[in-house]
Structure 1
């Protein structure tokens, strides 16, 4: 079956809606097209997640995540990952006293207290460059995943072109979008793979299981099997946040994300450790990244 880019977008959106993501077309968002954050949603969620923290401190946290000291994508991405997983430290002056707060960008304790949104065809303008990524996943107003889709109906275009386009966005046209990115997804409907902003195309990998116990069953259209396995496998809300928080690491050479077998293997190993401790046993856990 031949897929158009529009049909792939629609499939991605429907899959994400099926797992309770909200959906808005990019043209329907009230925003400045030079801003990659959805500031209204971001402020609303941060106030809700950090109920005991003064609004002035929330605004300072938003200022910090909008302001970087460098234009280097990797450096800024590494800093933002720390903000996303650990919170943003701010200093505020209230009633003559200095107060220190850590503003959480995500509610890891109550997943449904976060805003999961899929947006397509969002116009972004940076330094005079106007680009429209196919699909962006926002969590609490933050563009955490970017997807590029290519049509199998055009013989001269394939998944490698999707990768090249994302790299072009990152390196030339709209680099600020990638300051906040956890990982990227590329697909032509037949092949669907995920990887980080520093990964070469041969390190973009399929996600081959929806859960850790069995291969995907005949729940979805066979035409999109590779795509739906990745969407339902990686983007279940708890799992997505778990991957971002616990299964991404930075090295001097780049950013690494666990593959599906490493993720599920680690989760099983952790369960084994817990059970072994309960039974006064012993166990060890190692996540191998190089060459695996």
Structure 2
């Protein structure tokens, strides 16, 4: 009989997310110094290439300048208040990103959607394990991060159920530690 440990639980959780349609990414591979980097810094929590690609797919009538402006708007969320950041992102997610552009000398307003709520299959779902974030000289690596369209929307901390010291409270405390140490990861996740 194989021994139950946190790595086995992580592998099972990844497998379950794959069954739900998520693609698995080993996060060290897409880290800034990984084999296939998808972010340029460890404090960058968005996967901008993935987000930009999906924005083009779900907003086909928008030009690249409009989509780039929307991406910058999401990247620009940066208040000292985590709750304010979270509320700002939630508004962009649910109401779309309002972008103003000039066309034929007139200002035009467009709305860029970050998620296709009407056609979920148009979105990209990724489960990444061991996603390292370094912020405020704090180096943290949550067990699983769920990305939709390159945006981290959930952070999952796993515990070994066979370990009598592993409790729901300890997992919650670890998430709270992450929230204070690497708040940038929680701009796009509900806290």
Mapped pair 1:15 → 2:16: yes
For the 8 Å contact 1:23–1:119, the answer to whether it is kept is yes
For the 8 Å contact 1:125–1:174, the answer to whether it is kept is yes
Q: Please give the per-residue CA displacement for 1:203-235, whole angstroms capped at 9, x wherever unaligned.
A: xxxxxxxxxxxxxxxxxxxxxxxxxxxxxxxxx
Q: Offset at 1:69?
A: 5.0
Corresponding residue number in structure 1 for 2:185: 177
Q: May I ask how many residue pairs the two structures share in their alignment? A: 182
Structure-2-length-normalised TM-score: 0.90
Q: Offset at 1:2?
A: 7.0
Q: Offset at 1:151?
A: 1.6
State the alpha-carbon separation in 1 of the partners of residues 145 and 119 from structure 2. Answer: 23
For the 8 Å contact 2:77–2:89, the answer to whether it is kept is no
Q: Offset at 1:96?
A: 2.6
For the 8 Å contact 1:135–1:146, the answer to whether it is kept is yes
Q: Please give the per-residue CA displacement for 1:66-120, whole angstroms capped at 9, x wherever unaligned.
A: 1125221111111111111111111112343212111100111211100011100
State the alpha-carbon separation in 2 of the partners of residues 128 and 53 from structure 1. Answer: 39
Q: How does 1:33-44 map to 2 (within 5 A)?
A: 33-44=42-53
The runs of 4+ residues in structure 1 deviating greater than 4 Å are none
For the 8 Å contact 1:2–1:152, the answer to whether it is kept is no
**Structure 1 unaligned blocks of 5 or more:** 183-196, 198-292
**Structure 2 unaligned blocks of 5 or more:** 31-36
Structure-1-length-normalised TM-score: 0.60
CA RMSD of aligned residues (A): 1.6
Structure with greater Cα Rg = 1
For the 8 Å contact 2:69–2:99, the answer to whether it is kept is yes
Q: How does 1:40-59 map to 2 (within 5 A)?
A: 40-59=49-68
State the alpha-carbon separation in 1 of the partners of residues 56 and 80 from structure 2. Answer: 29
State the alpha-carbon separation in 1 of the partners of residues 85 and 94 from structure 2. Answer: 14
Mapped pair 1:164 → 2:160: no
Corresponding residue number in structure 2 for 1:238: none
3-state DSSP class of the match of 2:134? strand
